[in-house]
Amino acid sequence: MTQLETVHVPLGDRAYDVVIGEGLVANAGARIAPLLGKKKRVCVLTDERVAALHLETLRAGLAQSGIEMAALALPAGEATKCWAELSRAVEWLLTEKVERGDVVVAFGGGVIGDLGGFAAAILRRGVRFVQIPTTLLAQVDSSVGGKTGINAPHGKNLIGAFHQPSLVLADVSLLGSLSPRDYHSGYGEVVKYGLLGDAEFFDWLEANGAEAAAGDVAKRIHLVKRSVEMKAEIVARDETEQGDRALLNLGHTFCHALEAATGYSARLLHGEGVAIGCALAFELSARMGLCAQEDPSRVRAHLSQMGMKTDLSDIEGELPDADGLLDLMAQDKKVKDGQLRFILARGIGEAFVTSEVPKEQVRGVLIDALAAR
């Protein structure tokens, strides 16, 4: 095993560690055993794709420490974040006789982490859970910070609870089984951290992001660790998003409108939308005279250097016009008292939250971005 990194999420009696490194699934038992009482058994929620690739490694990794495992594999994909699959998961956990003191394991990407965490939050009024995120997006974002939930017909993530995990095992060996597109989608969230609060990290990504994408393990560990450190620090300041946690939504107001416009389909993955959204948020910031004119070009240059979607022209098929996109933005759940909240930037690494954004400026950015398609 190569180097291991641990990031502590300091949340008082809900504090936990995020362990980042290689081979963590193969050795999961040693890390999970201290959380268990006399009953050496865990229930694992996963998806069919992850189960086919990695479930036997997890089973062996738990067995090494004498931990037995039962698993339920749900269908892979965003459609699983629904009442029917949640109810199936909770009923299964009850059938498996999971008690208050037991530990549930969520083994998958963001969908399984969100649904599994929510199932753990509501089962017997809350049982502990361990996140073993299998995608880059889940390792750097959704597995950390305790947001759990499912989607509603009214919109994404509208039903849920804050429920912090007891441990997160981010095994970078799993990233090798991601398609380049899924890796790059997660990388959209990584770039976001540099852009929102750490210009040096963005410099590092410009110099090292391509090697990390090509498989350099030490670089992958570094980029996951730095992302998790930044998320942990923001979550510790504002666990339930009363203020600063909204910084993590850099690029997301544009992203959510684009995801809605593309029907939450494979036309645009979440992290791809975040990347394009970050570029648009910097464009808006530059037009408002908040950051240098060069900053949006630098953001776009890095995304295209990485072979990522950068502009609206990279999204295939029809998109609504600027007013249509503005309407979709207004439906974002981050709207407060009817005011759209934006995360803008005074420069790379200097994001802030504001409601003071003239609609005409946003419309102007969208009209120009659509015209370039």
Query: Could you list the residues that contact ligand GLY (CB under 6 A)?
Result: 141, 145, 147, 245, 248
Kindly state the tokens that stand for 37: 């009482």
CA–CA dist 56, 32 (Å, integer)? 16
CA distances from 218 to 3, 24, 134 (A): 8, 15, 17
Q: Dihedral sign for Cα 139, 123, 241, 300, please.
A: positive
We find the least distance from the C-beta atom of residue 145 to ligand GLY, in angstroms, to be 4
DSSP 336: B
The Cα angle at residue 48 between residues 44 and 54, in degrees rounded to 5:
65
We find the least distance from the C-beta atom of residue 47 to ligand GLY, in angstroms, to be 20
Residue showing the smallest CB distance to ligand GLY in the complex = 248
Nearer Cβ to ligand GLY (61/194)? 194
Nearer Cβ to ligand GLY (147/222)? 147
We find the least distance from the C-beta atom of residue 14 to ligand GLY, in angstroms, to be 15
Task: Give all strands (DSSP E) within the chain, no chain letters.
Answer: 5-9, 16-21, 41-47, 68-74, 103-108, 128-133, 147-152, 155-162, 167-171, 342-345, 351-354
Nearer Cβ to ligand GLY (147/225)? 147
Which residues are 104's β-sheet partners? 43, 129
We find the least distance from the C-beta atom of residue 109 to ligand GLY, in angstroms, to be 13
Nearer Cβ to ligand GLY (73/224)? 224
Can you give the C-alpha Rg of the chain in angstroms? 20
We find the least distance from the C-beta atom of residue 248 to ligand GLY, in angstroms, to be 4
- Of 52, 112, 104, nearest to 77 by C-alpha is 112
We find the least distance from the C-beta atom of residue 264 to ligand GLY, in angstroms, to be 16
Whether the CB-CB separation of 166 and 129 falls below 8 Å is answered with yes
We find the least distance from the C-beta atom of residue 146 to ligand GLY, in angstroms, to be 8
Q: Three-state SS for 331?
A: coil
Nearer Cβ to ligand GLY (141/272)? 141
56 burial type by CB count under 10 A (0-12 exposed, 13-18 middle, 19+ buried): exposed
Whether the CB-CB separation of 238 and 244 falls below 8 Å is answered with yes
CA–CA dist 242, 237 (Å, integer)? 10
We find the least distance from the C-beta atom of residue 349 to ligand GLY, in angstroms, to be 18
Nearer Cβ to ligand GLY (192/222)? 192
210 burial type by CB count under 10 A (0-12 exposed, 13-18 middle, 19+ buried): middle
Nearer Cβ to ligand GLY (21/149)? 149
- The amino acid occupying position 262 is T
We find the least distance from the C-beta atom of residue 283 to ligand GLY, in angstroms, to be 22
CA–CA dist 260, 265 (Å, integer)? 9
